[in-house]
Chain A
Amino acid sequence: MAMKPILEIRDLEHVYMKNTPLEHRALSNVNMTINKGECIAIIGHTGSGKSTLIQHFNGLMTPQKGTVIVDGEDVLNSKIDIKALRRKVGLVFQNPESQLFERLIGDDIAYGPLKMGLPIKEVRDRVEWAMEMVGLPFDEMKDRPTYALSGGQKRKVALAGVLALQPEILVLDEPTAGLDPRSKIELLDRIKKLNRKENITIIFISHNLEEVTYMADRLYVMANGTNIIDGTPSEIFSNKNILKENNIGTPETVEILYLLQDAGFSIDSRQYEVDGVANQISSILQYFQEVRANGISV
Chain B
Amino acid sequence: MMIGKKPLIQVEDVSFQYLVNKDEKIPVLKNISFNIYPGEYVAIIGHNGSGKSTLSKHLNGILKPSQGEVLVNGMNTKEKRLLKRIRQEVGMVFQNPDNQLIATTVEDDVAFGLENTGVPMDEMESRIRFALDVVGMSEMSKRAPHHLSGGQKQRVAIAGIIAMMPKCLVLDEATSMLDTYGRKDILKVIRKLNDDGMAIITVTHHMSEVAEADRVIVIEGGNIVLQGTPREIFQKKAFLQNIQLDVPAASRIAELVHHNHANFNPEIIHSYEIVNEVKRLLKGGENEWR
Classify A-B as touching or not with yes or no (CB < 8 A).
yes
Question: Are B48 and A256 within 8 A (Cβ)?
Answer: no
Q: A265 to B281: give the CA distance in the assembly, Å.
A: 13
Q: Closest chain B residue to A277 by CB distance?
A: B253
Question: Are B275 and A181 within 8 A (Cβ)?
Answer: no
A135 within 8 A of B: no
A208 within 8 A of B: yes
User: A150 with B256: in contact, given A46-B179, A285-B264, A288-B282 (CB under 8 Å)?
Assistant: no
Question: Are B253 and A256 within 8 A (Cβ)?
Answer: yes
Q: Which residues of chain B in 234-263 are interfacial with respect to chain A, using CB atoms and an 8 Å cutoff?
A: 244-246, 248-250, 252-253, 256-257, 260-261
User: A249 with B249: in contact, given A256-B271, A260-B278, A263-B278 (CB under 8 Å)?
Assistant: no
**Which of A274, A279, A281, A284 is in CB contact (< 8 Å) with B249?**
A274
Q: Closest CB-CB distance, B286 to chain A, in whole Å?
A: 10
Q: Closest chain A residue to B283 by CB distance?
A: A298
A178 within 8 A of B: yes
Query: In the complex, which residues of chain A have a beta carbon less than 8 angstroms from the beta carbon of B278?
Result: 260, 263, 265, 281, 284-285
A253 within 8 A of B: yes
Query: In the complex, which residues of chain B have a beta carbon less than 8 angstroms from the beta carbon of A260?
Result: 274-275, 278
Chain B CB within 10 Å, residue with most, of A182, A183, A209:
A182
A275 within 8 A of B: yes
B166 within 8 A of A: no
Chain A 118-157: CB-based contact to B (< 8 A → 1; otherwise 0): 0000000000000000000000000000000011100000
Q: A87 to B205: give the CA distance in the assembly, Å.
A: 35
User: A207 with B249: in contact, given A256-B275, A284-B278 (CB under 8 Å)?
Assistant: no
Q: Which residues of chain B in 8-39 are interfacial with respect to chain A, using CB atoms and an 8 Å cutoff?
A: none
Q: A183 to B180: give the CA distance in the assembly, Å.
A: 18
Q: Closest chain A residue to B208 by CB distance?
A: A252
Query: In the complex, which residues of chain A have a beta carbon less than 8 angstroms from the beta carbon of B49?
Result: 150
A289 within 8 A of B: yes
Q: A48 to B253: give the CA distance in the assembly, Å.
A: 33
Q: Closest chain A residue to B252 by CB distance?
A: A274
Question: Are B181 and A46 within 8 A (Cβ)?
Answer: yes
User: A46 with B150: in contact, given A180-B47, A182-B244, A259-B272 (CB under 8 Å)?
Assistant: yes
Question: Are B253 and A181 within 8 A (Cβ)?
Answer: no
Chain A 227-261: CB-based contact to B (< 8 A → 1; otherwise 0): 00000000000000000000001011101100110
**Which of A45, A177, A181 is in CB contact (< 8 Å) with B244?**
A181
User: A289 with B48: in contact, given A45-B181, A46-B149, A281-B257 (CB under 8 Å)?
Assistant: no
Q: Closest chain A residue to B264 by CB distance?
A: A285
Question: Are B275 and A252 within 8 A (Cβ)?
Answer: no
Q: Closest chain A residue to B249 by CB distance?
A: A252
Question: Are A275 and B245 within 8 A (Cβ)?
Answer: no
B285 within 8 A of A: yes
A282 within 8 A of B: yes
B143 within 8 A of A: no
Interface size on B, residues (CB 8 A): 37
Q: Closest chain A residue to B255 by CB distance?
A: A278
Query: In the complex, which residues of chain A have a beta carbon less than 8 angstroms from the beta carbon of B275?
Result: 256, 259-260, 262-263
Q: A181 to B182: give the CA distance in the assembly, Å.
A: 19
Question: Are A275 and B281 within 8 A (Cβ)?
Answer: no
Question: Are A47 and B149 within 8 A (Cβ)?
Answer: yes
User: A207 with B252: in contact, given A182-B47, A259-B275 (CB under 8 Å)?
Assistant: no
Query: In the complex, which residues of chain B have a beta carbon less than 8 angstroms from the beta carbon of A150?
Result: 48-49
Q: Closest CB-CB distance, B103 to chain A, in whole Å?
A: 22
Question: Are B282 and A298 within 8 A (Cβ)?
Answer: yes
Question: Are B181 and A278 within 8 A (Cβ)?
Answer: no
B142 within 8 A of A: no
Q: Closest chain A residue to B50 by CB distance?
A: A180
B229 within 8 A of A: no
B192 within 8 A of A: no
Query: In the complex, which residues of chain A have a beta carbon less than 8 angstroms from the beta carbon of B84?
Result: none
Q: A177 to B281: give the CA distance in the assembly, Å.
A: 39
Q: Closest CB-CB distance, B226 to chain A, in whole Å?
A: 16
Q: Closest CB-CB distance, B14 to chain A, in whole Å?
A: 23
Q: Closest chain B residue to A208 by CB distance?
A: B180
B177 within 8 A of A: yes
Question: Are B250 and A207 within 8 A (Cβ)?
Answer: no
User: A278 with B271: in contact, given A46-B181, A181-B246 (CB under 8 Å)?
Assistant: no
Question: Are B252 and A181 within 8 A (Cβ)?
Answer: no
B279 within 8 A of A: yes
Question: Are A281 and B282 within 8 A (Cβ)?
Answer: no
Query: In the complex, which residues of chain B have a beta carbon less than 8 angstroms from the beta carbon of A252?
Result: 208, 248-250, 271
User: A178 with B176: in contact, given A253-B249, A263-B275, A274-B252 (CB under 8 Å)?
Assistant: yes
User: A181 with B180: in contact, given A152-B48, A256-B274, A281-B274 (CB under 8 Å)?
Assistant: no
Question: Are B176 and A259 within 8 A (Cβ)?
Answer: no
Query: In the complex, which residues of chain B have a beta carbon less than 8 angstroms from the beta carbon of A284?
Result: 278
Query: In the complex, which residues of chain A have a beta carbon less than 8 angstroms from the beta carbon of B47?
Result: 180-182
In the assembled complex, 24 residue pairs joining A and B whose CB atoms fall closer than 8 Å, in A order, are A47-B149, A150-B48, A180-B48, A180-B244, A180-B245, A182-B244, A207-B180, A207-B181, A210-B249, A249-B181, A251-B249, A252-B248, A253-B249, A259-B275, A260-B274, A260-B275, A263-B278, A263-B279, A277-B253, A281-B257, A282-B257, A284-B278, A285-B260, A298-B282
- In addition to A181-B207, A252-B208, A259-B271, 9 A-B residue pairs with Cβ atoms within 8 Å of each other are A178-B176, A208-B180, A249-B181, A251-B249, A253-B249, A259-B274, A274-B249, A281-B253, A288-B285
